[in-house]
Amino acid sequence: NAGVTQTPKFQVLKTGQSMTLQCAQDMNHNSMYWYRQDPGMGLRLIYYSASEGTTDKGEVPNGYNVSRLNKREFSLRLESAAPSQTSVYFCASSESGSGELFFGEGSRLTVL
Amino acid sequence: AQSVTQPDIHITVSEGASLELRCNYSYGATPYLFWYVQSPGQGLQLLLKYFSGDTLVQGIKGFEAEFKRSQSSFNLRKPSVHWSDAAEYFCAVGAKSGGFKTIFGAGTRLFVKA
């Protein structure tokens, strides 16, 4: 049982380049989330999708876009990467109302 | 909007000693509260959660937490720490607004000494 799968696991970009982080879950969850983790700041919510077809901004949405492609997949796009977006990105999913988040293993992004 | 404060950036305890990790939250309505644990290089795993009812909740790995509304706190405890408990611990508060939006504290790193 794969759970939540993120790709790629590692990526190095130059300032101004674009990229998309992919996330897929096989637990039939309605809700999906993107967080970033930075030292001393915990996890900060970038965007979330309560259900297929909906997306909402979290705490730090600037510089990011998301797409809920279908119930399984939720992608995060950086249109023009900046060094401040160097971070570890986590995708998570949950069943509506349960509150429990199931996390992927993370994607480490470095922007030079 | 909800927020979470974990006052201790890191804590060191001896193996076998008791542990308490502090968490204070801010939220206007009844909060949904969580503790997660993260081992190095891994994602987060749920330890326990509080939605309603008994204010003392039991979780996995021998952890428990107590919800105190008057103090806006949800502290995590364990009576006897094992070396394998060394990890980073995150308190989180959830709110239902359309979907379920969960906000995390900055985390507390636990070191266990022999």
Per-residue pLDDT tens digits for A3-52: 999 999 999 999 999 999 999 999 999 999 999 999 888 999 999 998 88
Q: Please give the radius of gyration of chain A, using alpha carbons only, rounded to the nearest integer.
A: 13
pLDDT at B38: 95
Quickly state the pLDDT bin for A90 (edges 50, 70, 90): very high
Mean pLDDT by 10 residues, chain B (114 residues): 91 97 89 93 90 92 95 96 96 81 94 95
> Is A44 part of the contact surface with chain B (CB cutoff 8 Å)?
yes
B107 contacts on A by Cβ (under 8 Å): 42
With a cut of 80, say whether residue A85 has pLDDT above it: yes
A90/B98 CB distance under 8 A: no
pLDDT of A97 over the 80 cut: no
Contact A90 B32 (CB under 8 A): no
Cβ-defined contact of A105 to B42 (cutoff 8 Å): yes
Contacts of A58 in chain B (CB under 8 A): 101
Nearest to A93 by CA among A49, A57, A56, A58: A49
- Could B34 and A48 be called an inter-chain contact, meaning their C-beta atoms sit closer than 8 Å? no
Amino acid at A70: N
The pLDDT of residue A39 is 87
Assign A1 a pLDDT band (cuts: 50, 70, 90).
Answer: low
Q: Chain B contacts of A31, Cβ < 8 Å?
A: 99-100
From chain B, pick out residues whose CB is under 8 angstroms from the CB of A103: 43-45
Judged by phi (left if over 0) then psi (alpha if -120 to 50, else beta), residue A90 lies in beta
* The pLDDT of residue B28: 74
Amino acid B31: pLDDT: 84
The CA-atom distances, in angstroms, between B55 and each of B16, B22, B64, B67 are 25, 16, 10, 5
B94 close to A (CB below 8 A): yes
User: Among A57, A100, A102, A105, which would you mutate to test the B interface (most chain B Cβ atoms within 10 Å of its Cβ)?
Assistant: A100
Q: Which two tokens stand for residue A6?
A: 């993120």
Minimal CA separation from B44 to chain A, in Å: 6
pLDDT at A95: 87
Residue B98 is predicted with a pLDDT of: 63
Q: Which of residues 27-56 of B touch A (CB under 8 A)?
A: 32, 34, 36, 42-46, 49, 51
For A7, list phi and psi in degrees, rounded to 5: -140, 145
